[in-house]
Every structure is written in structure tokens, then in C-alpha cells.
Chain A
């Protein structure tokens, strides 16, 4: 009786010291129902090619060393059942490092950008405490629960190297650094919250450059949901009065202005309000094209002037904003 499945591992191979280009090698093996991806990586090394390289250490999903991508899906090799992936992607699995362009040897990548950005947000409690305290620094369950899930981060890099912004903008901190920034900012023992919020509020490197693709939420093997923490950092900027008026903060706040007036978003107004009248020159070319195509309406009145359909029962919406709005810019 055979309850194994024949699986082909199309495996990324590269040695930065000797290879001009990476290549993919196929390894075929019989895979049993209890085998993990790490077992298959071991079998490549032990049964096929002893030079095959990958990081691994704890085998318990806690050290974060064995992060790889299988058919584009970020995963921890030691946590991931192999046949689950066969079910998802079929009998040929594409095994790649988290970031092919950072490959050093096979699955091993240079994570310098990850660690530099992680360190930049001060991922530790900053507190001026007596070196010989008489009492422990107590925390309530509620205070602890604020960062409980964010604290589960093992710095595996799965979310960081799944994030498309990290690939396009080298200044961008990335989701893992944001999770760390959030985790220590909401820690009641910490005193560097404002500094972290200012760091993560800056354009280019901060949370306003997040494209909201949810790749990080999908990638995290510890189910931390990094983008949820990114949203919380956004909100904290306003709550703690760290937010400065710029195109991104006005864009977020401008939604309230529009919804109050129309229920719907006023698509022209949000651009003008966010960019300012001077900043509008960048969009004139596009605006003219949109006018020509009939995307900006002027049948009823002048374009850009209160020409948005209004929600029925608009007064309800206005009342709800009045009694529910908690943040201000």
C-alpha cells in the first residue's frame, strides 16, 4: 500500500561566488503525508546534492531561519506540510528563496536590508529605569493584550519579502519593521512611542507608502496580520497628534470631508484637497483626458463644483460622523 505522492521540486539554485546566473534543478521524490517542506529540503541535500544550502535551526517555527517561497507563497519550511502545498499548486512545486535577487547561495539570502530597517525603528523597550528597582514594572492583562500578537513576530522576513513596495522603494521600512514599531509603541513601559510614530509617519519610508495589497497578511506564518498594525500606526499618528498636514494625511482625512457633504467620495475634490491648488498642475493632463472621455461629469453643473450624487438619508451619515469621529488632523 502506497500513500505517497510523486512530487517534482523545481528548485532555485545559485552560488553567488561561482555562478553567473541562477538556474532551476528538478528533483523528483515520493512524499508522504506527514512530511514537511523542511524534510524535502533535507532530502535534496542528503539524497541528491550535499552542496544544496538553506538556513534551518529550531524546527519549531520559532527561529525564523527557514523562510522560503513555494510557488510564490511565503512559508516557513519547518511548519509547512508538503502535501498541503501539492493540493494547492499541483505535483510540481517551485522552490525559491524569499527574494531571488538577494540570493547568496540557493535558499540563503542576504537579509541586510531587513535587519537594518528592523533596527531603525528601535525594536525594544526604551525606558529610563532605576538599575536597582524596588518593584517589578507591572502590566495589566489589558495592557499586555495590546501587543500580544505583534510580539509573536519571529523576524523570518516572510512579509518583508512579499511586500511589493520593498522591491520598488528601497527607503520603505516594510511590514515587519512596522509590526515591531507598533509592538513597542503601544507597550505602556516604553517611552519612545512618539519618536517611532514620527519615523513611521515620514513619506518614503513610513506607513503612508503602503499600497494596501495585503500580501503581508497573506505571508505571515504567525498570523500577525501586519497591515492591521500598519492601520493602527496610521490611526495612532492622529490620536497622538504626530500627523503633519501633507498630501497623504489630507487624503485620508479628506474622505470625512467628502462623505459629510455627499455620502459618497467626491473624486475631484479629494485630489484638489490632498494636493492643494498648486499641486494640481501634476494632474491637469489626466484631468483633461478624463473630461474628454466623460469620466468627469459636467452635464448637471460645472465640473469640480459640487457635482457629486448624494446618498439618500444623507443626514444620517452626517449625524453618525458627528457622534463617531474620534480623530482630527
Chain B
């Protein structure tokens, strides 16, 4: 089905490296729905909130540069990582509300022939699907209903907080009770799992320096999902995915019980329901065995 939606895709770093399944499933979903995607090959890392801790001004300059390339195309920039979304949107907000900072950043950008204008919006692919494309239209195209799965939506901090920043273009969820992923799961005929930790932090950002904190936060969320009968978890953020998929053994060790749960990227779940190929969905790239989900879904 064609749509007239066109986006500039900021892939972020993980989709180009440790989570190739995120990029392939995103592109497969876009193709199925007739959404035109131009990958911003010029883009750099968003700083992942860590470069910001070292040199906030430099982080603004690099994020502004990324946005410049979306502006050149005259498109909305979409992200497939919550942290890319937040850091890009924070730079946009800072520059759009602080003319002095905008001038300082543009002075740097001018040296490489670029200018940040503030003409492109930034939104996560999740909200592009739900708000721009529409849940009803997605529902009409479900080939493989996910009716046999209890799916725990894990929202990830940086798409819902600070809510002030996301209100205009990025979902505008109630950060204490987000619903978009639940609605998406229902549209794909899956059963959303209601659990307290769906809007909590996974601990990814302190994986190296505060490992215990990181494992406990991830573990709390996973245990909560499992105890509420989740068969799998789905998240729009590859960093939440990496934390909860790759480190399950360590998390289980710290939390004192097994936490075996496949953690899917949001576009993987949509791709599965739209009947994309096994290769496009890329469940083989998960550390926690997830390939069975593809065959189970087809039955």
C-alpha cells in the first residue's frame, strides 16, 4: 500500500553495528507500508547522553549538523532509538529557544558550509507509524496476527520523559501511563501485558560505571513482565534491547532468579505481523534465543 509519507532516517550507531536487525526490520516495515525513507548517511553519533556530559556544546554542534541534513531534504527526521530521539530533540529545543546558542552553533556550522534553521521536526518511528500513518491502516494490513503472544511493552525513558519535550511532535504520552505501544500491540492482535515497570528505566547508561544499579533496574522490569505472564517484551529503544537481551545472564545473577525473555525491537514486532521475511526481521541476531517466535507466529 502506498502512502505519501517521506522521512529522513537517522539510524543512530547501534542499528549500524550491534543491532542490524533493527535497521532491516525498520526498512522492511517502511517498504510494506509504502513509507519512503532516505537514510541520513552523513549523520554522526548523537552523543548518547555521554558526550553531553563531557562537552555539552560540542554535542549540540554535532546534533545540529545531523538535523541540518534532514532540513536540506525538507523532511521530518525520524529516529529508531529513544536516546537519539531525545538528544536530537534536546538540541533542537535548545537552539529554537536560545537565539544566542543558535548563533554560536551556526558560527561553527558555517565553517563546513551548513546552517541550522529549525525547519525539520524530529520524531520517533513509533509515533510516525501511530500518528502519521495511523493504527487503523496498520491493522488492515496485518497478515500474521500476534494473537498467541502476551507482549510486554517497554517504553524506554527517552521517548516519554521529559514529557514537555515530547508533547508537540513525539507522541505526547502521559509519562506515568504511556499507551502507544499497548495500542500498537492490540492493532497487531497481540495481548499487551499490563505491568508497573513499563515506563521505568532499564539502567543501560550506567552499564559500565554502576553495573549493580544497571542490572537491578533491568531485572526489576523483566521480573515484573515475566510475573505478569509476558511471552516476550517489545521496546522502541535499541539500548533497552541491548541491556535486556544481551545481559540476561548477568541480570539473573544479580537479581537472584532466571530472567529469560525474548526482547524484540518495535519494528521487528510490526514486521512480524505484516508478514515480512525471516531475514528482514532478523531474530537470529538476538543473544537470548528468539528465532522460534517467527515459526510460532506463522502457525
A residues sitting closer than 8 Å to B (CB atoms) are 71-73, 88-89, 164-165, 168-169, 203-204, 207-215, 217-218, 225, 231-232, 234-235, 238, 246-249, 251-253, 255-256, 258-259, 263-265, 267, 271, 274-275, 285-286, 289-290, 292-297, 308-309, 311-313, 316-317, 319-321, 323-327, 329
Beyond A213-B201, A214-B161, A308-B17, is A286–B247 a contact (Cβ under 8 Å)?
yes
A88 touching B176, Cβ below 8 Å:
yes
Closest 7 CB pairs of A and B: A214-B161, A213-B201, A234-B53, A252-B54, A248-B209, A255-B51, A316-B112
B99-112 interface mask toward A, CB cutoff 8 Å, 1 = contact, 0 = none?
Answer: 00000000011011
Residues of A within 8 A of B285 (CB): 293-295
Interface centre among B45, B53, B212, B214 (most CB of A within 10 A): B53
Residues of A within 8 A of B44 (CB): 259, 263-264, 311, 317
The docked-state distance in angstroms from the alpha carbon of A329 to that of B50 is 14
A326 touching B205, Cβ below 8 Å:
no
The docked-state distance in angstroms from the alpha carbon of A325 to that of B57 is 8
Q: Is the interface of A mostly helix, strand, loop or mixed?
A: helix
Residues of B within 8 A of A293 (CB): 284-287
Q: Which of B41, B163, B200 contacts A312 (CB 8 A)?
A: B41
Name 21 interchain pairs, CB-CB below 8 A, sorted by A: A89-B174, A168-B213, A203-B209, A209-B206, A211-B201, A211-B205, A215-B201, A225-B162, A252-B54, A253-B54, A255-B51, A259-B51, A286-B246, A295-B17, A296-B18, A309-B16, A311-B42, A317-B62, A319-B112, A324-B108, A325-B55
A267 touching B13, Cβ below 8 Å:
yes
A264 touching B13, Cβ below 8 Å:
yes
Beyond A203-B209, A258-B45, is A264–B58 a contact (Cβ under 8 Å)?
no
Closest Cβ of chain B to A252, distance in Å, is: 4
A289 touching B246, Cβ below 8 Å:
yes
B177 touching A89, Cβ below 8 Å:
yes
Closest Cβ of chain A to B260, distance in Å, is: 14
Q: Which of A207, A252, A316 contacts B50 (CB 8 A)?
A: A252
Closest Cβ of chain A to B143, distance in Å, is: 26
Beyond A164-B217, A323-B108, is A169–B162 a contact (Cβ under 8 Å)?
no
B54 touching A168, Cβ below 8 Å:
no
B111 touching A259, Cβ below 8 Å:
no
Residues of A within 8 A of B171 (CB): none
The docked-state distance in angstroms from the alpha carbon of A323 to that of B108 is 7
Q: Which of A235, A316, A324 contacts B54 (CB 8 A)?
A: A235
